[in-house]
Amino acid sequence: MNERLGTTFNKDNILVTHGSQQGLDLSGKVFLDDGDIVPCESPTYLAAISAFKSYGCSFIEIPTDENGMNMEALEEVLNSTENVKLIYVIPTFQNPTGKTWNLERPKKLTELSAKYNVAVVEDNPYNEFRFERETLPSIKSFDTAGNILCTGSFLIFCPGFQIGWITGDKDIIRKYVLVKQGTDLQCNTIAQMTIAEYLKRYDIDKHIRKIVKVYKKRRDITIKCMEHYFPDNIEFTRPEGGLFTWIELPEEISAREILSKCLERKITFVPCGSFFPNRNRENTFRINYSNMPEDRIDLGNCDWNIYGRFYYFSGFIGYLLLAYYLVKYPLNWS
Amino acid sequence: MNERLGTTFNKDNILVTHGSQQGLDLSGKVFLDDGDIVPCESPTYLAAISAFKSYGCSFIEIPTDENGMNMEALEEVLNSTENVKLIYVIPTFQNPTGKTWNLERPKKLTELSAKYNVAVVEDNPYNEFRFERETLPSIKSFDTAGNILCTGSFLIFCPGFQIGWITGDKDIIRKYVLVKQGTDLQCNTIAQMTIAEYLKRYDIDKHIRKIVKVYKKRRDITIKCMEHYFPDNIEFTRPEGGLFTWIELPEEISAREILSKCLERKITFVPCGSFFPNRNRENTFRINYSNMPEDRIDLGNCDWNIYGRFYYFSGFIGYLLLAYYLVKYPLNWS
């Protein structure tokens, strides 16, 4: 793990959690009280918003571009806002956008965290699912003040085990341990033993290479289809790894409406309005390509434009596209 | 489950949790805010205190005797106290005392809960570990107002899986579901599938009879040894089931001191001062007999009184007794 994250942890720096989501919930319990403020990317992970919100905090969305969170905007907030107790970021293959920070911003965030003495939770569950280029060092690897926590999970082993981890300075992790005792006593020991035994007996890197190949292929098909079929007014990210791509429709089109049309055809995705903690942007949604067999991503058997307009769609992208037209030109479709 | 608890639940009444401890933590999240009050038995389960306390509540200890919580005392508290949001009880083989409520008090508690419109969390993880007499109906089975939640776990299957459940009125359980999503998304699916498959393929009642036989034997030996060897000024409970017996020393003797003497000989138990939320009673401790092989419970090979005084002890009870004398008569022992 140290090798993957560029860190030097020992066992006092790590707590095994009930999935990386528990790392977020415990972070809320350790750091947040009523009235506290959490700066985060805009948009950010929906279930982190729920986890933190339950401790009474509110959020300031920091503008975020292709290279990550805007550090000038963050510093302005840190400079002018009381009660900032935690900064929450997902620097690698972000959920929901699939975007990845560049190398400079993690360094700058570490500086700001030290300067303003604010904890950072770096949520990093998708780190190993990289399809191209080199793995970047974690934000935690630049930390000298001991303010940065990093969470992740054993998603790379197999989903459903709900075994994750949070790492950080040993005095902070000690607090997490105490708080976790009141929450659930311990994690599933049998699941931990299973994973430990797997790691001992088999080559996890080989396993990762295998699933990365599958996910990469699905991403490639998804992106290719979207490039080919989507109208110009639909924008989307081209992630270098992870599980998601993020789609922006023209502002007047609601992803929820598109979803309701897709659901009639048993196709689903996540509309992302609620990934913006303060103001919903309902024209956005997230596609998870990792869980979709290749032959269901495409348009399938499509009698394309047979009567001078779209006639028959199938497949994931096909239904999305159909739904888009059903919403955009409601009178032209039956 | 309905048969065991005397209830009529369907799937909307139940939420699978990460061990029954998570049921307690989620109860705190759903019901408690800063300044709220939780009446509970005295003593009560330490980790429930931690779970609830983290949401800012405080506790009123209700006097508790051989037949359960004193209902007159509880009503007086409900009558005179604002912000009582939750009553917490462990009516069967209580942790830490091993005591079980009689049949009347659950009915009375249900009435009070309806009259004062206060939720009750009935913590019931040991219900199946009954060594003698009939299983009593759960408090939940008397509930008509829908105020009572009941938690339990699959301890009966095997420890370490951390799969539990909480049941209640479907509108309340819906709130628990939403709160749980922010906490950990879901429980370990593989553990749930394993348990479901076990329940389908094998006879869980046969399995329970098997472990109950083992635990009963260990309880019997523990009680027999304590009756035989303990001085008259040490009191203890004779539980009808469950995993624990509870020991009260003379007031001037601290269980923590006895523990430190036992630890030198690699024997441990739980001193119970902190099971009293408001004032520690340090002369109490809890023995867990379920986890101790029979031949280690007894005094072992004991050269009893060979030089006119206790000379050599081994075994769990033996070390406890030695430690007691080391603390009580520190000058007479080396």
Where do the structural domains in chain B lie, given as residue ranges? 2-201, 206-332
**Which residue of chain B is at minimal alpha-carbon distance from A27?**
B183
Q: Supply A30's token pair.
A: 């350790």
Of B167, B130, B164, nearest in space to B12 by CA: B167
List average pLDDT for each run of 10 residues in chain B, which is 334 residues long.
Answer: 81 92 96 96 95 95 95 98 97 95 96 97 93 90 94 83 92 95 88 90 93 92 88 93 93 91 82 89 90 71 42 66 80 52
- Whose tokens are 């998304």? That residue is B185
Q: What is the mean pLDDT of residues A95-102?
A: 95
Q: Which residues of B277-289 are buried (b: 16+ CB within 10 A; e: fewer)?
A: beebbbbbbbbbb
Which among A50, A162, A185 is the nearest to B187, CB-wise?
Answer: A162
What CATH topology corresponds to A2-201? Answer: Aspartate Aminotransferase; domain 2 (3.40.640)
Interface residue of A18, A50, A161, A194 to substitute, partner B, most B CBs within 10 Å: A18
Instruction: Place A160 in a pLDDT band, splitting at 50, 70 and 90.
Output: confident
Sequence-separated (6 or more) residues with CB below 8 Å from residue A10: none
Q: Do A184 and B19 touch (CB under 8 A)?
A: yes
How far is Cα of residue B296 from the mean position of the Cα atoms in its chain?
Answer: 23
Q: Report the range out of A53-57, A71-75, A325-329, B19-23 with the highest average pLDDT.
A: A71-75
Q: Do A190 and B191 touch (CB under 8 A)?
A: yes
**Which residue of chain A is at minimal alpha-carbon distance from B22?**
A184
Q: Do B191 and A186 touch (CB under 8 A)?
A: no
Q: What is the mean pLDDT of residues A75-84?
A: 97
Higher pLDDT, A162 or A39: A39
Which residues in chain A touch residue B185, judged by CB atoms under 8 angstroms apart?
A: 19, 21, 47, 162
Q: Which of A61-75, A126-140, A316-330, B72-86 has the lowest mean pLDDT?
A: A316-330
Q: What is the DSSP string of A304-332?
A: TTTTSS-----SHHHHHHHHHHHHHSGGG
**Which residue of chain B is at minimal alpha-carbon distance from A22?**
B184
Q: In sequence order, which ranges of B99-169 are alpha helices (DSSP H)?
A: 104-115
Three-state DSSP at B190 gives helix
Which residues in chain A touch residue B186, judged by CB atoms under 8 angstroms apart?
A: 19, 162
User: What is the nearest CA distance from A142 to chain B, expressed in angstroms?
Assistant: 28
Q: Is A175 on the interface with B (CB under 8 A)?
A: no
Q: Which of A7-16, A140-149, A262-271, B241-250 has the lowest mean pLDDT?
A: A262-271
Which among A162, A186, A190 is the nearest to B184, CB-wise?
Answer: A162
Which residues in chain B touch residue A34, judged by CB atoms under 8 angstroms apart?
A: 34
Q: Is B141 on the interface with A (CB under 8 A)?
A: no
Sequence-separated (6 or more) residues with CB below 8 Å from residue A79: A116
Three-state DSSP at B235 gives strand
Q: Do A53 and B183 touch (CB under 8 A)?
A: no
Q: Do B184 and A21 touch (CB under 8 A)?
A: yes
Nearest 5°: phi and psi at A3? -65, -45
Q: Do B183 and A22 touch (CB under 8 A)?
A: yes
**Which residue of chain B is at minimal alpha-carbon distance from A31?**
B54
Contact status, residue B62 vs residue B69, Cβ threshold 8 Å: yes
Of A26, A56, A47, nearest in space to A119 by CA: A26
What is the total residue count of chain B? 334
**Which residue of chain A is at minimal alpha-carbon distance from B163?**
A188
Q: Do A186 and B162 touch (CB under 8 A)?
A: yes
Class of domain B206-332: alpha beta
Residues A115 and B302: their CA atoms lie apart, in Å, by 64
Q: Which residues of A240-260 are buried (b: 16+ CB within 10 A; e: fewer)?
A: bbbbbbbbbbeeebbbebbbe
pLDDT above 60: residue A321: yes
pLDDT digits (tens, 9 = 90+) for A238-267: 999 999 999 999 999 999 999 998 888 778
Contact status, residue B74 vs residue B63, Cβ threshold 8 Å: no
Q: Is A195 on the interface with B (CB under 8 A)?
A: no
Q: Which residues of A41-76 are buried (b: 16+ CB within 10 A; e: fewer)?
A: bbbbbbbbbbbbbbbebebbbbebeeebbbbebbbe
User: What is the nearest CA distance from B134 to chain A, expressed in angstroms?
Assistant: 30
Which among B18, B50, B181 is the nearest to A18, CB-wise?
Answer: B18
pLDDT above 90: residue A28: yes
Contact status, residue A121 vs residue A87, Cβ threshold 8 Å: yes
User: What is the nearest CA distance from B125 to chain A, expressed in angstroms?
Assistant: 14
Q: Is A23 on the interface with B (CB under 8 A)?
A: no
Question: What pLDDT score was predicted for residue A215?
Answer: 93
- Whose tokens are 């054993």? That residue is A154
Which residues in chain B touch residue A185, judged by CB atoms under 8 angstroms apart?
A: 19, 21, 47, 162
Q: What is the DSSP string of A258-308?
A: HHHHHHTTT---EE-GGGSSSS--TTEEEEE-TTS-HHHHS--S--TTTTS
Which residues in chain B touch residue A23, judged by CB atoms under 8 angstroms apart?
A: none
Question: What pLDDT score was predicted for residue B331?
Answer: 58
Q: Is B160 on the interface with A (CB under 8 A)?
A: yes
Of B174, B191, B192, B223, nearest in space to B14 by CA: B174
Of A229, A320, A289, nearest in space to A93 by CA: A289
Q: Do A160 and B19 touch (CB under 8 A)?
A: no
Residue B165: C-alpha distances to residues A67, A161, B24, B153 (Å): 44, 18, 10, 6
Q: Is A51 on the interface with B (CB under 8 A)?
A: yes
**Which residue of chain B is at minimal alpha-carbon distance from A19?**
B184
The mean predicted confidence, pLDDT, of chain A is: 89
Which among B47, B186, B188 is the nearest to A181, CB-wise?
Answer: B47
Which amino acid does the sequence have at A176?
Y
Instruction: Place A154 in a pLDDT band, splitting at 50, 70 and 90.
Output: confident
Q: Is B19 on the interface with A (CB under 8 A)?
A: yes
Higher pLDDT, A144 or A293: A144
Q: Do A21 and B161 touch (CB under 8 A)?
A: no
How far is Cα of residue A260 from the mean position of the Cα atoms in its chain?
Answer: 24
Which among B159, B184, B190 is the nearest to A25, CB-wise?
Answer: B184
Question: What pLDDT score was predicted for residue B26?
Answer: 96
Parallel, antiparallel, or unpaired: how do β-strands B164-167 and A119-123 relate?
unpaired
